[in-house]
Structure 1
Amino acid sequence: MPELEVAGKRWTVEPATNLLDALNAAGCNVPYSCRAGSCHACMVRCVSGEPADARPDALDAGRRTEGWRLACQCLVVQDLVVEVFDPLRDGLAAEVLSVDWLIPDVLRLRLSPLRPFRYSAGQHVLLWNDEGIARPYSLASLPGEDDFLEFHLECRDPGLFSGRARRLRPGDVLRLGELHGGALHYDPAWDDRPLLLLASGTGLAPLWGLLREALRQHHSGPIRVIHLAHDASGHYLAEPLAVLAAAHASVQVELITPAELPGILAQFRLVSRRTVALLCGQPASVDEFARRLYLAGLPRNQLLADVFLTRVP
């Protein structure tokens, strides 16, 4: 039976046990979200021993050399000594600049890191609060233009992190895990290709950053933005999107509700095969968007997607 050791605590586990499950069952409180190797929230460092890794390509060579692994993708097949991410040791302090409601169930959180923080539009970062709860959130801000980090928190349903976020005040301090990842990005090589940005709920946050990044890079192809909200009041960026669309003839914005979704999905048969699609939101919405795009003939390598999962208290 293989043994696991964390911070001096050692115990046996069944062979081929998922590493994330084994750590959390022992009370190690390793955060996670997607369980697919995309969000990077569950990174741990293997000090001794090597797990069976289903996604060795999910981390860059530098992090792997340092021993970092995605716990959700690893099985315990031999004795392991593991270090979990410690926000006080490994994280970056960030001061809360503002907390305000864009609509009654979407909280906008702006942070100022206490030292330089490098990121790209569309990426996400792990946020730790003072209760030891961590959650990966996508960045809505644009590096080089915004002098803060901006996050849009869905607070319609209870969440482990969002519940505490409601009580944050300017001057409070959170910790950032600088282990950010995510599938979404903008490539300047897409310059003249059609872009299709599809979001549900606060999945619009990273696409808001990516839309502005594409325009900053003078994207010449058409850009179609579709935002699915639970009802008309849920289009929390309707006004700034309208401003961008008015200023850029190439940008088309469609704000839809579930009742309108079937008609929009039926139009996907007209999508150009050169289109690059960026999807973000709840799993059911992203899966449906992706399925329709595949049926429309969009090559899989031209579709990038991130999903949001809420962990309920």
Structure 2
Amino acid sequence: MPELCVGERRWAVPTGSNLLDALNDAGLNVPYSCRAGSCHACLVRCLAGQPLDALPQALAQDKHAQGWRLACQCQVVEDLRVALFDPQQDGLPAQVCALDWFGDVLRVRLRPERAMRYQAGQHVVLWNGAVARPYSLASLPGEDDYLEFHIDCQRPGAFCDRARGLQLGDVLRLGELRGGALHYDPDWQQRPLWLLAAGTGLAPLWGILREALRQGHQGEIRVMHVAREGAGHYLAEPLREMAGVNVELVLAEQLDEALAGLRPSSRQTVALVCGAPNSVERLARWLFIAGVPRRQVFTDRFVSAL
């Protein structure tokens, strides 16, 4: 059986063992969220030996060349020496500069120790102590002097529980920044743009909406935000204040009726959809039925909170 080594610890594992499971079964508490290679919370570095990597394209070439791997996507097939991601050493410090509650949604604004280059719609892994989770950026690069995140704290979870106790001046660590499925393409300027979100799926779309307006989008812009209850429409006021944006706030129980009343004005409509998997699948299916081509529907599914 191959041998795993982390620091001074060594132990044998069955050939083909999932690397994330092998590490956590040994009590090393490697964080994870999606187990699909999407969230990047389970990043580890291989110092000697090579695992069988099912998704090498999930990481940038330079990071992959440096030995970084997503543990959830790797199988142990030979002796392997691994270093765990250390947020104190490998993460970028970022200080909490603003905290605002909107019902169960906590808006967190962070000022990183050094500027980060990113695009509206990207994700970054947030570390609060030893707990990590990926969150979409809601801020607008080049305009906001902070990074903004929207955290749904309605349900208990390791990260949410810690987030409730955050105070101004606290320092979090930023891990892997990654490209997200959603963005704004300047080539869309003349086309209808629909942004559909459920819950805090609104976070990346908030940044993308502002990016579209900054770039002078000329086509129709529609925003539909679905929430469990009225208080869940946490950006209702700033959305309604945006000139030229058609905003519809929908309660989950009224979604079927709201969708029945929407009709794309053009086959050129581009739709961005974000939220929990069930909501995204439901909205994307309706868009296809309504006549929006699949290649013009871009989706981002939020993994369940931990």
TM-score bin, normalised by smaller chain: over 0.9
Alignment partner for residue 259 of structure 1, among 250, 253, 270? 253
- SS for the counterpart of 2:175 is strand
Structure 1 residues 166 and 70: alpha-carbon distance in aligned structure 2, compared to 1, 3 A threshold:
same
The answer on whether the counterparts of 2:259 and 2:286 sit within 8 Å (CA) in structure 1 is yes
Q: Which residue of 1 aligns with 2:24?
A: 24
Q: Distance in 2 between matches of 1:18 and 1:300?
A: 34
Q: Does 1:60 align with 2:54?
A: no
Q: What are the within-5 Å matches in structure 2 for residues 187-198 of structure 1? A: 187-198=185-196
Q: Which residue of 2 aligns with 1:210?
A: 208
Q: Which residue of 2 aligns with 1:80?
A: 80
- SS for the counterpart of 1:145 is coil
Structure 1 residues 182 and 162: alpha-carbon distance in aligned structure 2, compared to 1, 3 A threshold:
same
Alignment partner for residue 276 of structure 1, among 264, 270, 278? 270
Which segments of 5 or more consecutive residues in structure 2 lack a partner in the other structure? none
Shift of 1:202: 0.8
Q: Which residue of 2 aligns with 1:292?
A: 286
Shift of 1:298: 4.0
Alignment partner for residue 230 of structure 1, among 225, 228, 231? 228
Q: Does 1:51 align with 2:51?
A: yes
Shift of 1:105: 0.7
- SS for the counterpart of 1:122 is coil
- SS for the counterpart of 2:63 is helix
Structure 1 residues 60 and 258: alpha-carbon distance in aligned structure 2, compared to 1, 3 A threshold:
same
Alignment partner for residue 149 of structure 1, among 123, 147, 150? 147
Shift of 1:127: 1.1
Shift of 1:266: 3.9
Shift of 1:212: 0.3
Q: Distance in 1 between matches of 2:225 and 2:65?
A: 40
Q: Which residue of 2 aligns with 1:111?
A: 110
Structure 1 residues 311 and 12: alpha-carbon distance in aligned structure 2, compared to 1, 3 A threshold:
farther
Which region of structure 1 is more displaced relative to structure 2, 169-178 or 50-59? 50-59
Which region of structure 1 is more displaced relative to structure 2, 29-38 or 290-299? 290-299
Query: Could you report, residue by residue, the CA deviation over 1:68-124 in whole angstroms, capped at 9, with x for unpaired residues?
Result: 2222222222222222211011011111112121x2211111111111222111111
* Paired AA for residue 128 in structure 1: W
Shift of 1:286: 1.3
Which segments of 5 or more consecutive residues in structure 1 lack a partner in the other structure? none
The answer on whether the counterparts of 2:103 and 2:231 sit within 8 Å (CA) in structure 1 is no
- SS for the counterpart of 2:64 is helix
Structure 1 residues 167 and 67: alpha-carbon distance in aligned structure 2, compared to 1, 3 A threshold:
same
The answer on whether the counterparts of 2:39 and 2:133 sit within 8 Å (CA) in structure 1 is no
Query: Could you report, residue by residue, the CA deviation over 1:202-234 in whole angstroms, capped at 9, with x for unpaired residues?
Result: 111111001001111112222221111001221
The answer on whether the counterparts of 1:38 and 1:306 sit within 8 Å (CA) in structure 2 is no
* Paired AA for residue 5 in structure 1: C
- SS for the counterpart of 1:95 is strand
Q: Distance in 2 between matches of 1:91 and 1:154?
A: 23
Q: Which residue of 2 aligns with 1:134?
A: 132
- Superposition TM-score, scaled by structure 2 size: 0.92
Which region of structure 1 is more displaced relative to structure 2, 294-303 or 34-43? 294-303
Shift of 1:2: 2.4
Cα RMSD over matched residues?
2.0
Shift of 1:144: 0.8
Show structure 1 runs of 4+ deviating over 6 A. Answer: none
